[in-house]
Amino acid sequence: MTPQPQAHAVEAHAHLGATIAALFARPDVGPWLMLAVQVTVSLILILALYWLARAMRLGGDVRIADAAHAAALAEATFPGFAAEEITVDRARIGALVRNRAGHVVLIRRHGARFVGRELTHHKGIRLDRHTLTLETGDPRFGPLTLDLGAEAQTWAASLRRLHGEMPDHVSGHAS
């Protein structure tokens, strides 16, 4: 007696293989099929690497160490920026840094790094007891709420004096 179900399965697999091979051989389908396979395999590898980076806890939980660190971040954002006044969020995820000329840089965490923008206008600044919500006008930067403790009121008052141009976009910049 021949085990017919197994024979059918082998035949079906052979048929499927032949169909796939024929599709790959067709000049109007093959290249696109190959591209689809490459994209799918690449996506799987990319997601695997992303998962591995997360599993290894790469990046970590970075915070602003202290006022000197915040000053260095402002200087890195605007070379030559000499910090005079600094306030750091109580969770150390952001900071405000002012120089002698009154320019204010807002620093926030971005992944395992930090980014900064100049705060040029009081628009969008909201004080709620110890927290200050700030907007730079750059949608990519987004609003940021800082818990500044008792310093929130003082900074809010001083930031209300900002009346510069609120940038509606970020212009071209050097590399």
Partner 1 sequence: MNLPSIAAIAHQAAAAGLDIVPFAVPLFVLAIVLEMVWAARHAPGAYEPGDTLTSLLMGLGSTIAGGLVASAIVVAAGWLYAHRVATVPVVWWTWIAVFVVDDFNYYWFHRTAHRVRWFWASHVNHHSSQHYNLSTALRQTWTGFPALSFAWRIWPAFFGVAPGMLLTVGGINLVYQFWIHTEAVHRMPRWFEAVMNTPSHHRVHHGTNPRYLDRNYAGVLIVWDRLFKSFEPERDDDPVRYGIVHQLGTFALTTVAFHEWRAIGRDVWHAPLLAKLGYLVREPGWRHDGNHTTSAVIRERWRAAQPGGEPD
Interface ranges with partner 1 (CB under 8 A): 35, 38-39, 42-43, 45-46, 49-50, 52-54, 56-60, 62, 76-77, 79-80, 82, 108, 110-113, 115-117, 138, 140-142, 169-175
Least Å from the CB of residue 18 to partner 1: 26
Least Å from the CB of residue 159 to partner 1: 20
Please check whether residue 166 is in contact with residue 122, taking contact to mean a CB–CB distance below 8 angstroms. Answer: no
Residue 26 or residue 54: which is nearer to partner 1 going by CB?
Answer: 54
Please check whether residue 97 is in contact with residue 105, taking contact to mean a CB–CB distance below 8 angstroms. Answer: yes
Residue 73 or residue 156: which is nearer to partner 1 going by CB?
Answer: 73
Least Å from the CB of residue 154 to partner 1: 27
Name the helix (H) or strand (E) containing 134.
strand 131-134
Q: Give CA–CA dist 105/78, Å, rounded.
A: 9
Angle at 164 between CA 162 and CA 151, to 5 degrees: 20
Question: Which residue matches tokens 């320019």?
Answer: 103
Least Å from the CB of residue 60 to partner 1: 5
